Amino acid sequence: MELVLHIGAHKSGSTAIQRMCTVAEAELVRSGIYYPRGLFPKYPDQHSELAALLRSGSDDDVRSALAEAIRRARGASCTRIFLSGEDFCTKSSDGEVDRLARLVRERFTAARAVLIHRVKKDYLLSHYNHMLRHVPEVIGIEGFKKRVRFNPAAVLARWRKRFGEDNVSVVPYEVPGGAPLLERFFGGVFGFAPPPKALAQCQGVNASLDFVSAIIINEVIKVLPGFDMASINRAYAKSFVSRNQRLPFLEHDLGVLLDQSFSSAEWEVGTGAAASGKEPAPLSAQQAAHYLASLSRFLAVLADAAQDHSGELTRDDVIAAYRILLDRMPENEAVVDYALACGSLRELREAILDSPEYRHKNGPVGNPL
């Protein structure tokens, strides 16, 4: 039985890889590859909890998890087990990787590890965006720099020392002019070609917000009571109908600043990938108009969420909602009366965002401009 470990990194396609293993489960099994879902309770579709188990559990706890994965794989007539957990690259010490290698050798005839390497500037930009949204307290660049513990060169050295130089490989996150990540990863690691339907289901998962929205969440929304990132993500997806709506100069300049804050030697892992130093092209007039419209909708939702909605919905509320979200006035007083039956501004907003007219004007979520 062979074990293949995807050890990260964070913000480098891990969610898409794990999603592929769920939507193409049957095809992977037919290729002899078993991806154990539900092996750990907290995150059933991935395996970062094994990294935590290496810190807090006994050898027998780790053996039990590996044995259960083997039992299931044999039941599915598979000869390879695939585990994926991005925490392996940031939360596993030398001793913990050494411990894992020792316990893996007890039960597996072969073991490999794979790290996805992302260009430093792009990785830091994406990771900072993530922290702006998800770290509970307000965080700036200095706070971000203190929190980042990822060093790709050190990670590779640690894993290659325990698993063997030839048993730990690197897959570039992006290859200019090359195939997309999922096709390169599964093809290169397993010789498996992901089905087109499954590839379509894995596009855009865990996409970042634009940085203006992320900064507003960090500096404004976090301060308000009842901060709920899940509801904000839903509102963003409905307001920004394309995840490609960005301010290119802001993100480029912020990326350069972050890139200069970390040692390039830590990112030298032999892939030859490098970030472009060129300034991006400015938005077109149409792209700028789309961005402003999307940001306006999103800010309206955030402002609404911060208000006290204990009072009744008013006629002025209905008119404002129609003008902001549909760019028009209500057709007549009958429509206003019907909208008032929603009871609250939040319920009215949800009804408009789910309406055929709104979807027709703005397109389905995720469509490019």
Cα distance between residue 26 and residue 147, in whole Å: 39
Domains of the chain, residue spans = 2-118+149-201, 211-242+276-362
pLDDT score recorded for residue 70:
97
Among 56-65, 140-149, 216-225, 264-273, the range scoring the smallest mean pLDDT is 264-273
- 83 with 36: CB under 8 angstroms? yes
pLDDT score recorded for residue 363:
59
Higher-confidence residue: 369 or 316? 316
Edge-to-edge strands, sheet with 110-117: 33-34, 80-84, 2-6, 110-117, 168-172
pLDDT tens track for 42-97: 889 999 999 999 988 899 999 999 999 999 999 999 999 999 999 999 888 999 99
Cα distance between residue 66 and residue 3, in whole Å: 10
Cα distance between residue 109 and residue 106, in whole Å: 8
Answer whether CATH 3.30.870 is correct for domain 2-118+149-201: no
Partners of 111 in the β-ladder = 3
Mean pLDDT, all residues of the chain? 89
Cβ count near 221 (within 10 Å): 19
Q: What is the pTM of this model?
A: 0.80
Would you say the CATH fold of 211-242+276-362 matches that of 2-118+149-201? no
For the cut 60, the answer to whether the pLDDT of residue 365 exceeds it is no
Strands 33-34 and 110-117, how do they pair? unpaired
Please give the average per-residue pLDDT across 110-130, as a whole number.
95
Range among 100-104, 266-270, 323-327, 355-359 with highest mean pLDDT value: 100-104
Nearest alpha carbon to residue 251 among 219, 216, 288, 209: 209
128 alpha carbon, distance to own chain's centre: 12
pLDDT score recorded for residue 61:
93
CATH number for the domain whose boundaries are 211-242+276-362 = 1.10.3130
pLDDT score recorded for residue 13:
93
pLDDT score recorded for residue 367:
37
For the cut 80, the answer to whether the pLDDT of residue 243 exceeds it is no
pLDDT score recorded for residue 181:
95
Query: How much is the CA Rg of the chain, to the nearest whole Å?
Result: 24
Higher-confidence residue: 307 or 329? 329
pLDDT tens track for 291-307: 999 999 999 888 877 77
Who's near 66: CB < 8 A, 6+ residues apart?
A: 3, 103, 104, 107, 108
Helices (H) and strands (E) in the chain, counts: 18, 5
pLDDT tens track for 4-18: 999 999 999 999 999
